[in-house]
Chains A and B, each alone.
Chain A
C-alpha cells in the first residue's frame, strides 16, 4: 500500500499530468459552450445526448495518453534510482512490487479521468442536462477500464523493454485501439493471405474504441455489448499476469 501511495504522490507532482488534464478540460469547455461546435454532415451538434458519446471518446483517449505517459517510465525509473533494492531488502517480491507500481499508476490515471469527467458533468449541468449526471457517473467506470488497460499493458512492457520502445508500442496500441472501427473497415477491403494476416493482427489490438462506445451506449440508453467489456477485463488480466511474472535482471 505504501508503494502505491508513493507512486501516486510522485506522479501528481508531474506537470505533464496537469497539462494533459487542462487540455481535456479545454476540449470539454470548447464544445460545451458557444466557443466551438462539432459539425457533422453540415449540422452543428449542440444536443448533449449526441455530443456526449463523442466527448467521452475524446476524453478517454486523452486519459489513455495520460495513463501511458505516467506508466511508461515508472518501473524503469525505480530500477535506475535503485529504489528497487530498498524494496527487496524488506522482503517484498518483484511481482508484488511491480503490481503495486502499476496499481499506483492506475489510481493516478483514474483521478485525472474523474476530474475530466467531473468537468463534463459541470458543463452538462450548465447546459441544462443535469438529468444525465447519473449516466456520466456510470460512464466513468468505462474510463477506468480504458485507462487500466493502458496502464497495465504499459507497465508490463516497461519491465523488459526500453522506455522509448515501450512508449512507441503503446502509442501505436492506443491510437489503433481508439481507431479500431476504422481499421476494421479498412482491413475488410483487404484480400489474400496478407489481408488475412493483417485482419488477425488488428484483432489483437485491444478494442479501446469498443470500451468508449459502451460508455456512449450507456449515456444514450442503448444496450451494452458485454463481450467487449469482458474482453477489456481479459486484456487487463493478461497484462496483470505479465506484470507479475516478468522479472528485471537487476534485481
Chain B
C-alpha cells in the first residue's frame, strides 16, 4: 500500500514535470506577439503620422531577455521568428544594424510590464519609438548623412548640464514652446515660433559648434521619435495619460538626455501648428530650428 502511494506520488511528479516542459513558452512568447498585433492595430488608426513611408513593423523586432533575442518579421498578421544571442546586454530599447537592415530591439513584455506600471509607457509605444529610429536610418539614412562628430548623449549632457546659463535658456525654450498647449489664447503661433527661434539662436552662441550640432542631432532624432511615441500612447492609453506623461513633463528641464526628447517633441508640435503638412517635405537633413525659421521668415 505504502509502495503504491509512493508510486502514485512519483507519477504525479512526472506528470507535473512533463506538463511544465510542455507549457513552457519557447521562441516567440504570446504576450510579445500580442504587442506586435497591438502596433499593427494602432497603425490602422494612426497610419504613418505624416512621415511618408513609416510603418514600425516594416522592420524586424527583436524581443530580448538580455541573453537571447527572438527576432520577429511581421508580415500581415504572420510572425516568423529566429533566435540568436542577444546583441545588447541589459535592459535595452534600441535599434541594431544587421548588414543593410535596421532592426528594433526591445525588452520582453514580461520584463517591461513592471516598468509600464510606473511610467505608463506600453511596450508597443517603445516599438513605435524604436521603429521610428529604424525608419529614420533606413528610409532617410540619417546616420549616413551625419557628417559631423556627434557627442554621445552622456558626454553632451555632462557639458550642457554644467553650464547654468545654457540650462536656463534651454528651460526658457521649453516654456515658450509649451505655450502652444498651455496657453488657451496662443492664437498667434508665429509669435511663439519667433520668440523660440530668438532664444534658440541666442543660446546657440553660448555653445561650441560640436555641442550645438550634437544637440540638433538629438533634438531631431530623439525628439521626433518621442513625438511619434507620444501619439501612440495618446491613442492607446487615452488623453489623460498623454497629458500627464508627455505634455505634463514637456516643459521640465532635467539633467541627462530626456530634455532633448521633450524639446524635440515640442518642436514637432510647433511645426504641426505652423503647417500640418510640414512632414511631407521633411527628410531629416535639416534641424527643426531651421524648418521653423522657414515659416517665420
Residue numbers of A with Cβ under 8 A of B are 40-42, 93, 181-182, 184-185, 188-192, 195-196, 199, 226-227, 230-231, 233-234, 237-238, 240-241, 244
B244 at the interface (CB under 8 A from A): yes
Contact B23 A184 (CB under 8 A): no
Contact B244 A42 (CB under 8 A): yes
Contact A227 B20 (CB under 8 A): yes
Contact A230 B23 (CB under 8 A): yes
B163 at the interface (CB under 8 A from A): no
A188 and B25 contact, Cβ closer than 8 Å, known pairs A181-B113, A230-B20, A237-B12:
no
A241 and B13 contact, Cβ closer than 8 Å, known pairs A227-B25, A230-B23, A231-B20:
yes
Total count of chain B residues near the partner, CB < 8 A: 28
| A230 to B9 alpha-carbon distance, docked (Å) | 15
| A237 to B19 alpha-carbon distance, docked (Å) | 13
Query: Whose C-beta in chain A lies nearest to the C-beta of B248?
Result: A42
Contact A227 B90 (CB under 8 A): no
Contact B66 A188 (CB under 8 A): yes
> Can you offer 24 A-B residue contacts whose CB atoms are under 8 A?
A41-B120, A41-B241, A93-B2, A181-B114, A182-B114, A184-B110, A185-B111, A188-B65, A188-B111, A189-B66, A190-B66, A191-B66, A195-B66, A196-B67, A199-B67, A226-B23, A230-B19, A231-B20, A233-B16, A234-B17, A234-B20, A237-B9, A238-B13, A241-B13
Q: Within the complex, what minimum Cβ distance (angstroms) separates B34 from chain A?
A: 10
Q: Within the complex, what minimum Cβ distance (angstroms) separates A170 from chain B?
A: 22
B296 at the interface (CB under 8 A from A): no
Contact A234 B110 (CB under 8 A): no
B241 CB contacts on chain A under 8 angstroms? 41
A185 and B115 contact, Cβ closer than 8 Å, known pairs A227-B25, A230-B20, A230-B23:
yes
B89 at the interface (CB under 8 A from A): yes
Q: Which of B16, B25, B89, B111 contacts A237 (CB 8 A)?
A: B16
| A238 to B14 alpha-carbon distance, docked (Å) | 11
Query: Whose C-beta in chain A lies nearest to the C-beta of B12?
Result: A237
A233 CB contacts on chain B under 8 angstroms? 16
5 interchain residue pairs of minimum CB distance: A191-B89, A227-B23, A185-B114, A234-B16, A188-B91
| A241 to B5 alpha-carbon distance, docked (Å) | 12
Interface residues of B in 41-92 (CB under 8 A from A): 65-67, 89-91
Q: Within the complex, what minimum Cβ distance (angstroms) separates B165 from chain A?
A: 34
